[in-house]
């Protein structure tokens, strides 16, 4: 996880307010925080609140309270992604003007009949040549044929062919909401993010994001995708698997558990120390290389 010389490090944690902070997200927050701090960097918090139908009332407060209780110290004010709506729309307009995005009026039923892959529907560009007026349409980008290759600092080389694996993906939905891929790229650029440390569940999104960065002439940050935390049965800890919020009355043990899941090998008595001393230990001993190539870590009853 080397950072480029002479560009000051700016990292971020970017939760969506879809539920409380669970152990899997805590692990991502700890990794991105430690990586920013050991690089003398800034660490920003961005609440990705641009998809109200998926959001849970009160989740933002729960997440911020948990981060505060766990002793994270972020730089600047909390950033709310919804405040960048104009910048998102401007990026969509730039793509349309450049002939890189088009309106798509395909219905859900039309899409259901198309080929699907691990990333969902592989949209083959049915509406590329149609001229569709009005706002009752999604906006899709016009992907091109070549492979997109990037090197993840932890997971190594990743190759994806956008046209055959994701197809023309959505940047603005038919309901007017901005798609995650575009929103995250615009926000990372606006905030000058140099390094993204996040869960491996997003690694398949990264090629689409790099494609957008190139088309919008943004700099591509460094990427490090950390393993996902799974239940012993193999399913990932997430809101969908009803992962509970991290406890606010057991900060030391949970923080040490996160460090252990991050393969840092904290000493068995570390949890008896204060929150501040646990962070000091974590900063002095942070070795992200221990996560190299690791894709999943099982949360056992003991960790």
- Cβ atoms of 171 and 182 closer than 8 Å: yes
Q: Which is nearer to ligand GLU, 110 or 201 (CB)?
A: 201
CB of 47 to ligand GLU, least distance (A): 9
Q: Which is nearer to ligand GLU, 111 or 202 (CB)?
A: 202
* CA neighbor of 173 nearest in space, from 128, 135, 139: 139
User: Per-residue contact track with ligand GLU, 162 to 201, x per CB under 6 A?
Assistant: ----------------------x-------------x---
Q: Give the list of residues 6+ apart from residue 235 with CB closer than 8 angstroms, or none.
A: 241
Q: Which is nearer to ligand GLU, 143 or 209 (CB)?
A: 209
Using CB under 6 A as the binding rule, whether residue 16 contacts ligand GLU is answered as: yes
CA angle 120, 124, 127 (to 5 degrees): 115
The Cα-based distances of 23 to 223, 246, 254, 288, 303 in angstroms read: 21, 6, 8, 18, 11
Total of residues contacting ligand GLU (CB under 6 A): 7
DSSP 115: -
The Cα-based distances of 82 to 16, 51, 136, 165, 283 in angstroms read: 11, 9, 21, 29, 32
Single out the residue of 15, 19, 20, 222 in contact with ligand GLU (rule: CB under 6 A): 15
Single out the residue of 38, 111, 202, 252 in contact with ligand GLU (rule: CB under 6 A): 202
Residues facing residue 230 across a β-bridge: 236, 298
User: Per-residue contact track with ligand GLU, 33 to 62, x per CB under 6 A?
Assistant: ---------------x--------------
CB of 277 to ligand GLU, least distance (A): 29
- In the complex, the residues that contact ligand GLU under the rule CB under 6 A are 14-16, 48, 184, 198, 202
């Amino acid at each position: 996880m080397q950072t480029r010389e002479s560009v000051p490090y700016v990292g971020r944690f970017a939760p969506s307010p879809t539920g409380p902070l669970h152990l899997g997200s805590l692990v991502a927050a700890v990794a991105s925080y430690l990586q920013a701090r050991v690089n003398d960097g800034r660490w920003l918090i961005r609440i990705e609140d641009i998809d109200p139908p998926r959001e849970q009332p009160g989740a933002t407060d729960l997440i911020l309270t948990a981060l505060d209780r766990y002793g994270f110290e972020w730089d600047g004010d909390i950033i709310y992604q919804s405040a960048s709506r104009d910048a998102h729309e401007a990026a969509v307009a730039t793509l349309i003007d450049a002939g890189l995005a088009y309106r798509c009026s395909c219905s859900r039923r039309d899409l259901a009949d198309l080929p699907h892959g691990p990333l969902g529907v592989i949209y083959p560009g049915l509406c590329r040549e149609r001229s569709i007026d009005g706002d009752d349409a999604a906006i899709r980008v016009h992907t091109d044929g070549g492979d997109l290759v990037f090197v993840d600092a932890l997971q190594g080389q990743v190759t994806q062919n956008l046209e055959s694996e994701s197809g023309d993906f959505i940047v603005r939905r038919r309901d007017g909401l901005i798609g995650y891929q575009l929103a995250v790229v615009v926000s990372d650029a606006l905030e000058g993010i140099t390094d993204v440390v996040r869960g491996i569940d997003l690694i398949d999104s990264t090629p689409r994001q790099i494609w957008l960065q190139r088309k919008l002439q943004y700099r591509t940050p460094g990427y490090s995708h950390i393993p996902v935390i799974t239940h012993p049965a193999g399913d990932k800890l997430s809101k969908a698997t009803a992962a509970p919020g991290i406890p606010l009355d057991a900060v030391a043990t949970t923080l040490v558990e996160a460090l252990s899941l991050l393969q840092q090998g904290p000493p068995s008595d570390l949890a008896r120390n204060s929150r501040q001393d646990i962070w000091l230990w974590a900063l002095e001993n942070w070795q992200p290389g221990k996560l190299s190539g690791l894709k999943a870590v099982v949360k056992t009853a003991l960790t």
